[in-house]
Every structure is written in C-alpha cells, then in structure tokens.
Chains A and B, each alone.
Chain A
Amino acid sequence: MILGLRLDGLPLAEIAEAAALAEAARLDFVLTGDPDGGAVGAVGRDALSIASFLMTRTREIGLVATVSQDSAPFNVARALASMDHLSGGRCGWVPIPGEPSDAERDAEHLDVVQKLFNSWDDDALVFDKAASVFADRSKVRRIRHAGAHFTVDGPLNAPRPVQGHPVLMQRAAAASRGADLWIGTGGDQRAGPNGAPTFHQITLGSAVQTGAVLTERFSDTGCAGFLLQPRTLDDIKTFARDVAPILQAEGLLQSAYAPGDFRVRLGLRRPVNRFSATRADATA
C-alpha cells in the first residue's frame, strides 16, 4: 500500500521532525499544502518552499507539494523541474485550481507545464568538456504554445526532470485527466477517471483503530493506499511507533526504500516525451 502523510495541519516548527518520522517509518511521501485547496496560515502559504526545505532534512522520501495554478505555467514548470533535479527525483505535486475557477484554463495550464518539461530531451545534457558541449542544442526546442489562455514560447530554462515529469496527484473531483495518482474524498473509489490508482484520506486516530481501518479498507476497496492526516505531531509518533511496524510485518508497507526515483518506487510509468517521440519517428 502507498502511504502519504499530510503536513499542512502542523505548525511550521514541527514540519522537519514530522518528515523525518515519516521517512524513518518508510512512508512513501509527505505532502505540504492542503490538497483540497483550503485556506492556510500566512506563513505556510507556499507549500513548494516548505517541500524544498524538507529536501535537505530527509534523504529518500517523496516530497509532494500543492501548487496554485494562479502562478504562470512557466514559473510552475521551472520550480517543479528545479525541485526534482535538486532532490534527485523526489518531487510530486498537486495542482490547485486558479481563482476564479476555470476548468478549461486549468487544463491548458497543466498542458503547458507538461510541454515545458518535454522541451528538453532526456539525453540533452552531454557534459562533453573536450568539445565544450554542455547541452546538445538540437535536443532542446521551443514549445510555441498559443492557446486560449496562455502563449508560451519556451524552452524551459531547466532540463527535463529526473522523473520525466514530477509525480502528478489530483483530487478525484478535478476536471483534468492526466493524474498519476488520484486523491479520493472517501467513499470506495478504486481508480480515478483515467484508471490511475486512488488514495483514500484517513484521519489518524488511536493506533489500534488506525491500523484496523487501513488493513480492512485496503483489502475491501482495492484502493492504492492512504493519505494520512495527523491532528498533531504525536499522532505521527504513535503511527511510526505502533502501526508502521505491524504494516511492515504484514508486508503492506516497505521496510526499506527501493532504489530509483519517487516515480519508479511508486510503480508508475515514465511519461513519454512527445517531442522526442516525434523526432525519433521523423528520423526512423
């Protein structure tokens, strides 16, 4: 089962300890920001900065942040690509719809962000000191996007992310259909609109109660796993001490991180670079 931990309800001063506990318990990821797009305190408003901070306080765990689609797609793509490179492929994100809500605009926003990720081929970085070729300029291109809401030339000024694209998580209610993982609102969804696996959100309670709910719901619904919501730091300590070892003994939770980036560990496929694919077709 895939387990993530929400950090948005905790004070900023407890975030680093919470993430370290989650990593010690071998959870798959921590999430900064409210995936439901709810109001947050003034200091914690930029979830990506908080996730970036956790990059140097943890070594292995996935770092997922909410990102507002009110920011320009170029800024969003660049921040996420930077985060993914700097963290060695541990980045994930949950797009939060812009205001006022406009499903068509948000879908175009996501499309532009992903095009920008693909503006560099995976093998564009050459590092050939002798010939002075840092990047092969034939493998970096403009995206020339001109849509109803955004006009973006590109290319991005950062190479393609380590994971191809950072892991994309969306609420099951979101309009767009490209998510790697869906965040359910409860209920018993097994898969999201595009067939991708779904999480259920669970508020952490007593250890006994939490452990039972997780194992039962996991086998009953066939969901991919859970997004755990702690009420306090103590909830995380209790989970790490009392619940995680049981889940590990039952083979439901990893007891060590497997090699590879966040996407690989989650068993997700690497996104194809449409631009590269086109180039390969053209030369075939």
Chain B
Amino acid sequence: MSDDPSAPGDLLHLGFWMLTSGGHIGSWRHPATEPEKLLGIDYYVQTARLAAKGKFDMVFFEDTLAARERTGGVFGEASINSLDPLVQIAALAGATRDIGLAASFSTTYHSPRTLADKFAAVDHLCGGRAGWNMVTSGAAAGRNFGSGAHPEHQARYGLAHEVTEQVKAHWAAGPASPQGHPVLIQAGMSPQGLEFASSYGEAIFAGFKDVEGGRAFRTNLRTLVKGKGRRPDAVKVLPGFMPVIASTAAELADKKAFYRDLIHPALLRGMLGERFNIDFTDVDLSQPFPMDEIRDGLEDRPMIGGDRALFVREIVPGETVGAYAERMASKLSGHLTAEGRPEDIADFMQTWLQGGGCDGFIMQALQSPLELELFVDQVVPILQKRGLHRQDYRGSTLRDHLGLKKPA
C-alpha cells in the first residue's frame, strides 16, 4: 500500500445507510412500502441481509436525539426515522454473520462509560463487526437534556476529544474483541472536525461536489493523518451517494418523475416548514419567499440534521416559494447522485475511486429494499467483474472489510 497521501485505493468500500423506507423523503408513500413494518426488526434484518448479499462492508444507522419538527409540532407528513441505533445494531448482531454494523451515537449526551459499554457489548456480540460514528448533537437535542445552554461548535469538538479518549481508555481496560475495538467513524468537514478526524477517524463520511473536491479533501486528510504518525490508508473517505438505476433513458425519466410525485404537496410544505420554521401550510406558492419572516425565526428553533442558514442561502433572490420548492423536490438527496444504466453507475463509482476522490461510498437507496436490490443484483456484479469490489468477505471483522489494522 502506497504511503502517498494522494494515491487512490484499489477496492471500493461500501456502507449501506439504513433509513427506514429509503433515502428519498417520499419513499414511505411508495406503493411497495409497508409503513407499519418499519418499526419491526424483521424489516431491518431483511435489508441488512440484502446488503450482505451485495458484500457491503457495513450497514449504518444514524441517530437523532429529538423528534423532527416543524412549527411547534412533529413533522407528521414524513416518516419517523429515529429508533435507537444501538438497539438496532445489537439486534442485527444476532441475525447477521459477516456484514459490519455501524451506528451514530452522540458524545454530547451519552457518558463515555455508556458509549464504551454499549459499543463494546455490540462488538463482542457480533464478533468484532461494530463501528461507532462519533457525532456531536445539535441544539435541538439540548431541550431534552436539561436546561443548560448548548455547547458551541468549538466546545463540542473539544468535548468530543475528551470523550473519545475516555471511551478508548474504557475499551483498553476491558477484554479486546476480535477486531480490537469498534471502528471509529466520523462525519464533518469543518477545520475542528478535520483535526478530530485525523486524530481518531478510521472511516470518514463526507460530502463533495465533484471528484476534484473529493481528491483535495482526501489528500489533505491523509496528509494530516500521516503527520500524526498514522498510515495514510488508516482512514477511508466515504461520501454519501444515491444511485438512480434505470435501463433506458425513458425509464430513468419515468423513475425520476415517479419519485418526484411521491413528494405530496403537504409533504413539500412540511419540508419548507421544517427548513425555515414558519408554517407554509397556507402560503401562496406564487409569492416571493417571505425573507424577513424567515430571518426572524431562524434562531428560535434549531432543526435536526440540517443547516438552516445554508437553506436560506440556497434561495435565489426574488424566486417564488413554488419555484424553490420545485427545485428542492427534484433534488433526490443532498448527496452525490449517479443516474443511468447499471454500467453508468459502475463507471461513476470507478471514476471516483480511481480519481482518488474517495475510498468508497456510504450509499442510500431511493426506496428500501427495491432500489438496494436493484443495485445488488445489477451494479455489484459489474463492480466485481471489474475487480473493484470483493467477490466474498475475506475476513470476519469490520476492520478486515475496511482494510484497517487492529489497534495496538
């Protein structure tokens, strides 16, 4: 393995991001989705086994510590997606054999002892397949954890360093799992996040506009990692990714239109309400954005998993509410998207890997299991044929899958 921080990897590392009915916000309304089953473990077992059939490195669950809301109530138009991820991966430990099991868990509102105990338990129960995405919680969660002021970004990362050191100390004091201890995953691209990632991160979830952006980030990160006395390949960069697979141009257009139509007007207005913290239920879509009202309400209600200031910046000056909403609805996700035939999807992934833009992807499916199944059946064999993806698991731990060394 090359010591050059800009050297591309030779094999893709794939994570599957478990998001109840899928990564598309309207996926719960898809005719194939059975919403009443999204709360039961069987659905997640089936999805994880499907990802394992595609020889994914891991499945991944995100975490939130507050209900999704819009204007003083829950965002009831969207599906809930917030069951405890540790309960989910512990349950999957009993029902899967090879695939890695990763989850976000907050360093802000769980004690180091609890974090260490929970991930150690899962890592032992699954034979060394656990991964922990170390996240800090936003201000929305603060309302559910006492009355103190929420720590600022800098302070939260400072706290995260301390917590991570303590968690690692707890692990070191207990028995080692087959992979030593859980893989440390990190998301975030701020300078503080990068410093944290280069010190502790083994897999990094990130977002880029293009391969060049990915390459710049990855090279920089790997240089920092090397500067800390670690090997550049001790960290894998995995941008978020959502494929749209169709065998013809006509089929692709149909599929995109179909998913766009799943965003019911009430769901669309709910998304606007969640983003801007004002009630869009009766807003006239032909009117320009109520910018003053939006700016006034921005700081009142911190939102879950989004950057409200960024959403405001995305508004084109003078544009109507309806025009913005249309643009938002046609965007399938906030991540990289590849569209086309299975070969086109494979080409896209290959270009990113060999261009040094990433080491793989953390992938969402428009709808689960349908679109994951399509990827596993039609794209994975192409990647395997090109020698870019494993034919079968070679090791038994998540660290094995990701090509990471066991910690000393």
Q: How many residues of chain A are within 8 Å of chain B by beta carbon?
A: 55
- By beta carbon, the residue of chain A nearest B265 is A132
Instruction: For the complex, give the distance between the alpha carbons of A111 and B269 in Å.
Output: 36
- By beta carbon, the residue of chain B nearest A88 is B40
Q: Is A43 a contact of B147 with CB atoms below 8 Å?
A: no
Central interface residue in B68, B82, B90, B147, by most chain A CB within 10 Å: B90
Residues in A neighbouring B253, C-beta threshold 8 A? none
Q: Is B94 a contact of A57 with CB atoms below 8 Å?
A: yes
Q: Is A12 a contact of B73 with CB atoms below 8 Å?
A: no
Partner of A43, one of B86, B121, B144, B270: B121
Size band of the B side of the interface? 35 or more
Report B144 CB to chain A, min CB distance, Å: 4
The verdict on A52 contacting B91 (CB below 8 Å), with A152-B145, A153-B143 known, is yes
Q: Is A151 a contact of B95 with CB atoms below 8 Å?
A: no
Q: Is A55 a contact of B41 with CB atoms below 8 Å?
A: yes
Residues in B neighbouring A48, C-beta threshold 8 A? 87, 90
Instruction: For the complex, give the distance between the alpha carbons of A83 and B91 in Å.
Output: 9
Judge if A82 is at the interface, Cβ distance under 8 Å. Answer: yes
Residues in B neighbouring A232, C-beta threshold 8 A? none
Judge if A135 is at the interface, Cβ distance under 8 Å. Answer: yes
Judge if A131 is at the interface, Cβ distance under 8 Å. Answer: yes
Q: Is A12 a contact of B125 with CB atoms below 8 Å?
A: yes
Judge if B122 is at the interface, Cβ distance under 8 Å. Answer: yes
Q: Which residues in chain B, 83-111, are within 8 Å of chain A measured between CB atoms?
A: 83-84, 86-88, 90-95, 109-111
Q: Is B73 a contact of A53 with CB atoms below 8 Å?
A: no
Report A222 CB to chain B, min CB distance, Å: 36
Describe A's contact surface by its main secondary structure. Answer: mixed
Judge if A171 is at the interface, Cβ distance under 8 Å. Answer: no
- By beta carbon, the residue of chain A nearest B94 is A56
- By beta carbon, the residue of chain B nearest A78 is B84
Instruction: For the complex, give the distance between the alpha carbons of A159 and B81 in Å.
Output: 11
Q: Is B83 a contact of A152 with CB atoms below 8 Å?
A: no
Judge if B211 is at the interface, Cβ distance under 8 Å. Answer: no
- By beta carbon, the residue of chain A nearest B266 is A132
Stretch among A23-31, A67-75, A253-261 lining the B interface: A67-75
Contact with A along B262-302 (1 / 0, CB 8 A): 00101100100000000000000000000000000000000
Report A75 CB to chain B, min CB distance, Å: 7
Contact with B along A14-58 (1 / 0, CB 8 A): 001000000000000000000000000011111011101111110
Residues in B neighbouring A57, C-beta threshold 8 A? 94-95
Contact with B along A81-98 (1 / 0, CB 8 A): 111011110000000000
Judge if A140 is at the interface, Cβ distance under 8 Å. Answer: yes
Residues in B neighbouring A46, C-beta threshold 8 A? 114, 117-118, 120-121
Q: Is A153 a contact of B144 with CB atoms below 8 Å?
A: yes
Q: Is A70 a contact of B111 with CB atoms below 8 Å?
A: yes
Q: Is A156 a contact of B67 with CB atoms below 8 Å?
A: yes
Q: Is A158 a contact of B125 with CB atoms below 8 Å?
A: no
Report B182 CB to chain A, min CB distance, Å: 12
The verdict on A75 contacting B110 (CB below 8 Å), with A43-B120, A44-B121 known, is yes
Interface residues, chain A, with chain B CB atoms under 8 Å away: 12, 16, 42-46, 48-50, 52-57, 68, 70-72, 74-75, 78-79, 81-83, 85-88, 125-127, 129, 131-138, 140, 146, 150-159
Interface residues, chain B, with chain A CB atoms under 8 Å away: 28-29, 35-36, 39-41, 44-45, 64-68, 73-80, 82-84, 86-88, 90-95, 109-111, 113-114, 117-118, 120-122, 124-125, 143-147, 170, 173-175, 264, 266-267, 270
| 13 more A-B residue pairs beyond the given contacts A42-B175, A78-B83, with a C-beta to C-beta distance below 8 A | A42-B170, A45-B117, A45-B120, A46-B118, A78-B82, A86-B83, A134-B79, A140-B76, A153-B143, A155-B67, A155-B74, A157-B67, A158-B84
